[in-house]
Structure 1
Amino acid sequence: MLFLFSLTTINYLDRVVLSVAAKPIAAEFHLSPVSLGYLFSSFVWTYTVFLIPMGQFVDRFGTRRVAAFGIGIWSLATVLTGAAGAFGPLLASRLAMGAGEASSNPVCAKTVRQWIPARERGVANAIFNAGSFAGPAFCLALIGFLIAAFGWRWAFVISGAIGFVWLVLWLALFNTPERTHWLSQAEREMILRERNNGAPAQAEGEPDGLMRLLRSRTLWGIALTEGCNIYAQYLFLTWLPSYLQMTRHLSVTNSGWLSGVPYGGAVVLAVLAGFLSDRYVKRAGVMSGRRRHAIAVSMMCGAAILLVPLATSFVALVAVLTVSLSGIAATNATNFSLLSDMLPNQRDIAKAMGFVIVGGNVFGLLAPIVTGYVIANTGGFDWAFAIAGVLLLTGIVITLTMTHQPIVARGSVALRPARS
């Protein structure tokens, strides 16, 4: 879990450096808000395209090799961003970073399914997903200082170098439960016995192809819920420092610190939400789909984004941002847990996760661009927050109505849980 948390932290640290450095980069390359929106969104284009192939590679070649390949690519791309001398190379490096980062979520989902018993997956998914908020929390507080002290280019070089340290440790220490020598035989047997939601390992059968899984209404519901949530997350991830600088008139350094505090709060609250969701589903069983209720509550908290324009003091603003980001973080983790709950065969998890993240990022890639146009046409961020809030409320309806049955291909045999 420490590996997965730190992998996701590095992933999001490298994403958000550009957001903090947006002001000096825009000045150097003469970029408008619309151009910045496209640059913010650019890594999501390749990220989305490569997600499903990366999921299939993880299912085929394993987490160890694909994670090493992915973080090597995106860390190198982050370092090269700091060397860009024109807008073209800057854009190319972000596209390469997105392609490498597409490995992260399928690797994490597969590793959780391989290592973590069903009754503990809510906490496990919350821990790895917390990295997506810990990364911005650390980065937003630190990168503003680095930019002020050394310039924006060194911020990218230092961030990218951290990934290579993780890569060396991963190759030296990580493997699957079947191949990990320090694991006791009793614990190994328990992990293998419980990784299939209580079904015996020999009953899992051959994996379904992605096209067969796409016949499941539940898989589509989970992907659409993810999309409604990720739109708000990417709005914060890409535009929050600029909002604080442009609308609240903070410096680069101060906007970084103020942005980092809500992200730090979200890390703690999201892990707590994962623990509570595990307790909530324990009595009914994971395949009941009961975890959808926890998703609905989390998305309601995320919809506090609607209150951002109404926060007149910095204390109120930090409180609203913390509640909203915590809800978004908890939704991501709980939605990933619901996917694992409702997918009987662990051999399908990485490709299914890839599809869910594609669903999220189709919405997510639009968030920076739409926000850029909103700012250009209205002169402010109010409508951008309103759009994100409405999508979060829509996601509540989707998760409560579309995720009642296990994710199995039509004609496959699976136990039918009671509707909950």
Structure 2
Amino acid sequence: MATMRCKRRRISTICPAAAGATAAAFLIATTRAFVYQPQRLHVTQHVPVRGSSPDWTAMGRTCVGKNLPSCQSREFPECSLRTRGSTGLTCSSRSGGAAGIPLRNRAPRCPSPTFASSFSCHDAICKPLLSLSPASFSIVPSSRLYASSLPSPKTDEEEEPVPPDAWRLLALSFLCMIICSLDRVAMSVAILPMSLEFGFSETTKGAVSSVFSLGYMSSMLPAGILATSYSPKNVLTLGVALWSLAQILSPSAAHVGLTSLLLCRFAMGAAEAVATPTVQSLVGNWFPSSIRSRVISLLASGLNLGVLLAYLASPTLIRLTSWEDLFRIYGGLGLLWLALWIPFAAEKPPSSPAPLEGVEEVPGALRQVWESLVSVPWKDFVSSPALWAVTFAHMAHNYGLYVLLAWLPTYFSQTYGLDLKQSSVLSVAPWIAAAIVSNLAGWGADTLINSEVVTKTTVRKLFQCSALLIPAACMTALALGTHTPAEAQAIFTLSVAAGSMSSAGFATATQDLADKYIGITYGATSALSVIVGSLGTFGTGMILDYSHEWPWVFGIAAGVYATGALAFAQLYKAEKVFD
């Protein structure tokens, strides 16, 4: 390894942080098309049905803002302590003629069958309206609530535009996705010189990659619960700090021994698991459903860009410094990102209403997490065909993705005798294509959904099945054999690019199924899919050790892809089932 080292000097090569920052700036400049409007409350009139008396508690968990004293005096035994209120109001009425306020739009999603239409009014009108007939109205917050509170109905026309600060949060999240992927894929490149130095077998190389996935799986669901019930920003902050430190310590752990390296990689995987559930929760807090496919796709392209930068920059960094310094440089980028994230990222839009005056918050994050954990409808999760569809698609996607992330440079090296730099360069094209196709898929899905030409269910199935069946065909072609590195690269590029359409499939489907439990549902599906992905990574190493046959690797991947597509096509239906 002495020949692979050189004196430290200024590196004139691609800087992952600079490239990521440029991409983030471009992201904001090209997607910022919305303006902020203050959030409102829904005031719902309860009208007696067939002579029954007005039902003040029919809505359940109703609370009022601190500027509504006439309503604050009412007792609401089912009111959540953490429900929040605000001063602006939207009145919802069955008749639409009360107080002379014009009728607006029919509300398709109402928690109570006692009203069927809604209209807008101002605070000055709603207060007198409530005081005139206090037993006929309750107030429900329209902002996103904590896990234990009931979300209010919201029509498409009432959906709030994006606050300006959301774009700053999106840019920082985009950079986080780049760093997350960069840190993970670094091992796929560094494992080649490490194997020469430490004498790793193919099975050992597979174990180093798969133990990361096992750590990832172990904390995926807890990360989703914390992101939903506590603070997604704080959870992500802790996760980035821990995985960056684990990345920096990886070289020292490798020199101590294989066991310490495996433990370090496990810890790094466990810390990185918080990234996607927390970002999913933040997207749910800041962005309306009409553009979430695009937002999720943009963030997914950040992951692809991280892979691209890892394959481009890592061989040069190893050549100019060492494989040990590669881990330290990438870990340092995560710590630098924290210096921007902590002061500039916000948990929720600034208009999110403050806690009710006189209502005491539940003390302690652990108690909040426990209450949210026991209130989660786990039985509904297990019995939901749509959630299982998302899980099966996620499993199939992760199987192929993890195998390619861990083994693609090794494939080019073993099959065509290429060196580290050549193998990494050939591995770049698929991720360039994936970053482009992912964004196109997000914009295409949102356009189709908003046009109402086809149903949301059809759109999700179209993109997700394409994202699995095309890679299945590509893996079959690779199993049959290729003749040149360029031919193999073209097939890999098509496979990875098509697979990135999952950003408009299962990756956004959890937003379709739940508002309140986005982090938990994504964490639950991810935990199971990571198990499948880690088995694929480790199993590939065993197959190569005992048979040295790459066609077996690709043939199994093709079968997994096809199975996931079939399950999603049969089971998925885009409708809210957990709120």
State the Cα RMSD in Å: 2.1
Contact 1:106 1:351 in 2 (8 A): yes
CA shift for structure 1 position 147: 1.4
Where does residue 313 of structure 2 map in the other structure? 142
Distance 1:135 1:347, change over 3 A: same
Residue 29 (1) aligns with residue 198 (2): yes
Where does residue 379 of structure 1 map in the other structure? 548
Distance 1:288 1:329, change over 3 A: closer
Question: Matches of residues 20-419 of structure 1 in structure 2 within 5 Å?
Answer: 20-84=189-253, 85=255, 86-179=257-350, 208-282=376-450, 283=452, 288=457, 290-303=459-472, 304-309=474-479, 310-343=481-514, 346-404=515-573, 406=575, 408=577
Contact 2:277 2:522 in 1 (8 A): yes
SS state of the match for residue 365, structure 1?
helix
* Alignment counterpart, residue 9 of structure 1, candidates 178, 181, 185: 178
Contact 2:210 2:534 in 1 (8 A): yes
SS state of the match for residue 80, structure 1?
helix
Return 206-215 or 46-55, whichever deviates more. Answer: 206-215
Return 293-302 or 94-103, whichever deviates more. Answer: 293-302
Q: Which amino acid aligns with 2:539?
A: V
Where does residue 189 of structure 1 map in the other structure? none
Contact 1:228 1:395 in 2 (8 A): yes
| Cα distance in structure 2, aligned partners of 1:389 and 1:261 | 21
Using structure 2 for the length normalisation, give the TM-score: 0.64
SS state of the match for residue 252, structure 2?
coil
Contact 2:286 2:349 in 1 (8 A): no
| Cα distance in structure 1, aligned partners of 2:189 and 2:564 | 29
Q: Which amino acid aligns with 1:59?
A: T
Contact 1:305 1:386 in 2 (8 A): yes
- How many residues align structurally? 385
Q: Which amino acid aligns with 1:308?
A: L
| Cα distance in structure 1, aligned partners of 2:408 and 2:301 | 18
Unaligned runs of 5+ in 1: 186-205, 413-420
Q: Which amino acid aligns with 1:106?
A: P
CA shift for structure 1 position 286: 6.9
| Cα distance in structure 1, aligned partners of 2:401 and 2:408 | 10
C-alpha distance after superposition, 1:302-334 (max 9, x if no partner): 222322353323332222111101122221452
SS state of the match for residue 214, structure 1?
helix
C-alpha distance after superposition, 1:48-79 (max 9, x if no partner): 01111111111122211011000000000000
SS state of the match for residue 31, structure 1?
coil
| Cα distance in structure 2, aligned partners of 1:165 and 1:220 | 38
Q: Which has the higher contact order (CA 8 A, sep 6+)?
A: 1
Higher helix share: 1
| Cα distance in structure 1, aligned partners of 2:322 and 2:459 | 49
| Cα distance in structure 2, aligned partners of 1:92 and 1:38 | 11
| Cα distance in structure 2, aligned partners of 1:327 and 1:356 | 21
| Cα distance in structure 1, aligned partners of 2:483 and 2:292 | 39
CA shift for structure 1 position 284: 5.7
C-alpha distance after superposition, 1:152-205 (max 9, x if no partner): 101110111111111111111111343379xxx9xxxxxxxxxxxxxxxxxxxx
Identity of aligned residues (%): 25
Unaligned runs of 5+ in 2: 1-169, 354-373
Using structure 1 for the length normalisation, give the TM-score: 0.87
| Cα distance in structure 2, aligned partners of 1:363 and 1:274 | 26
